[in-house]
Structure 1
Amino acid sequence: MTPPKTQDDTLSQLKAGKLQGSTSLKLSAQLTEFPSEIFELADSLEILDLSGNALTDLPADLYRLKKLRILFCSNNQFTHLPEVLGQCENLSMIGFKANQIKHITESAIPTHTLRWFIVTDNALTQVPHALGECSKLQKLMLAGNRLSSLPASLANCHALELLRISANQFETLPDFLFDLPKLTWLAYAGNPFCNTIEQALISQHHIQHIDWQALTLQQVLGEGASGVTYQALMQDEGEHEPVAVKLFKSGLTSDGLPRCEMHANLLAGEHPNLVGVTGVIHNHPQGIQGLVMPLLNPHLKVLAKPPSYESCTRDVYADDLKLTLQQAEFILKGITQAAEHLHANGLMHGDLYAHNILWGAEKVVLSDLGGASFLPLDNPALTKKILKLEARALAVLAEELEAVVSER
């Protein structure tokens, strides 16, 4: 049996010239410098993933990789976005999550080609005006920085559909966001202007505490950006009840803060089309935050896969998925009712996508409140504008469901 290939093997193969013609390359091998041998793939390389290294810069002639479309340099040691990116003629997706980036020059943005820009979890106090020149920009992920404003030029990003600005320093939401014709998925929790809203909402809510000692973890059910979910048994008055337990990772996720997700789940309360919450974990030995939730029927299926590099903001449905009209209407009705319940409880889902929907013959569930935001209910006019975005997300879902309805 051949042992699995390691990243060191990939680096050795690259240096030995054995990767000629590769369209995709992933290297995570404690690199402190960009391997010059990558340029030997200039005629073919489209996707380059250098995440999880110790890089601080990229070569000034990176533009020689003329076919490069997608570049990931997350979890490195960059303090600036390399200016050469602005000269890469086909670069449409850039990911520099979890670095220490403090500054982005105007010239570092490939304005003619950029569709998807990820600088989550850095130290940015501002983003460049040049982003407003990105007519193809659909996805902008800025959560976990030190931003208190966005450049007015972003009002020109008429293709922008998804925006993440959670866990920053905003005192208010920029007005121009609500004039963007395609903005559909927005997350803004964990900013000063909505922290007070969050605290006011959660202070009125009764929280059931469940002692860690009452829980016995079993197999992993799933892992996402914010945490790991386990099947578990909960001891209650001598009985052992099957439950799901989500243990949150510390720090920041691509959508925002675990604290906000936990509070959103608590505020969402009970609804037939939501996962629901049994209680909050108390007395975890490492102080890890967690939720105890009802265990869903394992026969429920995920409606679609998350967006691909190509689809960017659109979920990917299985080619063989065919719904009856009745099934599609059942799913849409259930998700609409779930969203309305969240709105009535002071929440916007913010990530209302088919990949967050579980469904079966008799039940449909909207899951994952990691991108949820708290509604400014004391400002009805602003709340109405925010909820128009969620209505747009429901309209997208309706279109997608219609597209997979069988003609039979």
Structure 2
Amino acid sequence: MIGVHDGLNSPRKESGTEDTSPFPSKYLMRNTRVLRVVKAQIKEVPMEVLEAAQQELVNIVNLGNNQLREIPKDMILLNEHLTQLILSRNQISFVPTNISQYSKLEVLNLSSNLLCELPMELGGLHLLRELDISHNRFHHLPACIYELSQLESLVAHDNNIKSVDASDLGLGGMPELLILNLNNNDINVVPPILGNMPKLKSLELWGNPFRQPRHQILSMGTPAVLSYLRTRIPI
């Protein structure tokens, strides 16, 4: 995924004393502007940690590979500065409607959770460039995604997606899209109009039950796939 940063490894000792908390100190957050807690089995983030992160102008949060069941409610304290939010490999089953308040968010990673829908309010993230919803339970691409006009990378592999909307109200209305990964879904038909997407550089479709384009075309790479799809557009 383009440009995703997960922060820096944080030391566990300060001033000669050992700190058993998995959360970084305010001093580390001040120096890095990163709140990074991964593989720590945490189920929540204390409010005082997020208050400290707010004070230190943290703009990157990585809480990947934990046991979160929801996006921490007090995370909203960071909404004015947050540009990257990584919540992969948790147990999150819904995204709250206040996600739209993270107005500066550019990167959102929700992969490997329990999601089957996203709120329409997510479409209000007008600066979002990268969205990863892979390894979830989606049966379709949520409609809010089509509102993300600046999105450059959409990673949605390993879901249960059965079809995609490639019209001007769907993917066809996303002029900045460079990367589209739909591997390992349940797509039966690839819309030929995908071939007309102006900036698409990487289209991944392996592991779906459609018959066309055939594997030999897929193996030739994205330019060949897009060229083939254009030949299938009805005149």
User: Contact 1:129 / 1:154 at 8 angstroms: preserved in 2?
Assistant: no
Task: Quote the Cα distance in structure 2 between the aligned partners of 1:10 and 1:84.
Answer: 32
Task: Quote the Cα distance in structure 2 between the aligned partners of 1:80 and 1:132.
Answer: 19
Secondary structure in structure 2 of the residue aligned to 1:192: coil
Task: Give the drift of 1:155.
Answer: 1.6
What's the counterpart of residue 53 of structure 2?
A: 41
Secondary structure in structure 1 of the residue aligned to 2:210: helix
Asked if 1:177 is matched to 2:194, the reply is yes
Number of matched pairs = 212
User: Contact 1:111 / 1:131 at 8 angstroms: preserved in 2?
Assistant: no
Task: Give the drift of 1:64.
Answer: 2.2
Task: Quote the Cα distance in structure 2 between the aligned partners of 1:49 and 1:20.
Answer: 12
User: Contact 1:118 / 1:141 at 8 angstroms: preserved in 2?
Assistant: yes
Secondary structure in structure 2 of the residue aligned to 1:94: strand
What's the counterpart of residue 81 of structure 2?
A: 67
Asked if 1:104 is matched to 2:114, the reply is no
* TM-score, with structure 1 as normaliser: 0.46
Per-residue deviation, residues 268-299 of structure 1 (Å, max 9, x unmatched): xxxxxxxxxxxxxxxxxxxxxxxxxxxxxxxx
The percentage of aligned residue pairs carrying the same residue is: 24
Task: Quote the Cα distance in structure 2 between the aligned partners of 1:194 and 1:10.
Answer: 55
What's the counterpart of residue 83 of structure 1?
A: 97
- 1:5-404 correspondence runs (5 A): 5=11, 9=19, 11=21, 14=24, 17-21=26-30, 22-28=32-38, 29-36=40-47, 37-43=49-55, 44-65=57-78, 66-151=80-165, 152-194=169-211, 197-198=214-215, 347-350=219-222, 381-382=228-229
User: Contact 2:195 / 2:230 at 8 angstroms: preserved in 1?
Assistant: no
Task: Quote the Cα distance in structure 1 between the aligned partners of 2:110 and 2:170.
Answer: 22
For the pair shown, the structure with the greater C-alpha radius of gyration is: 1
Per-residue deviation, residues 100-132 of structure 1 (Å, max 9, x unmatched): 211211113443111000011111112222222
- The amino acid of 1:33's aligned partner reads E
Task: Give the drift of 1:381.
Answer: 4.7
Per-residue deviation, residues 165-215 of structure 1 (Å, max 9, x unmatched): 1111111112332222111110001001049944xx7xxxxxxxxxxxxxx
**Structure 1 segments unaligned to the other structure (5+ residues):** 202-342, 353-372, 386-408
Superposed CA RMSD: 3.2
- The amino acid of 2:229's aligned partner reads L
* TM-score, with structure 2 as normaliser: 0.77
Runs of 4+ in 1 over 4 A off after TM superposition: 6-10, 194-198
What's the counterpart of residue 401 of structure 1?
A: none
Quickly say closer, same or farther: Cα 1:193–1:6, change in 2 above 3 A.
farther
User: Contact 1:111 / 1:135 at 8 angstroms: preserved in 2?
Assistant: no
Secondary structure in structure 2 of the residue aligned to 1:144: coil
Q: Which structure has greater strand proportion?
A: 1
Task: Quote the Cα distance in structure 1 between the aligned partners of 2:97 and 2:19.
Answer: 30
Quickly say closer, same or farther: Cα 1:41–1:153, change in 2 above 3 A.
same
Per-residue deviation, residues 319-362 of structure 1 (Å, max 9, x unmatched): xxxxxxxxxxxxxxxxxxxxxxxx6xx62334x9xxxxxxxxxx
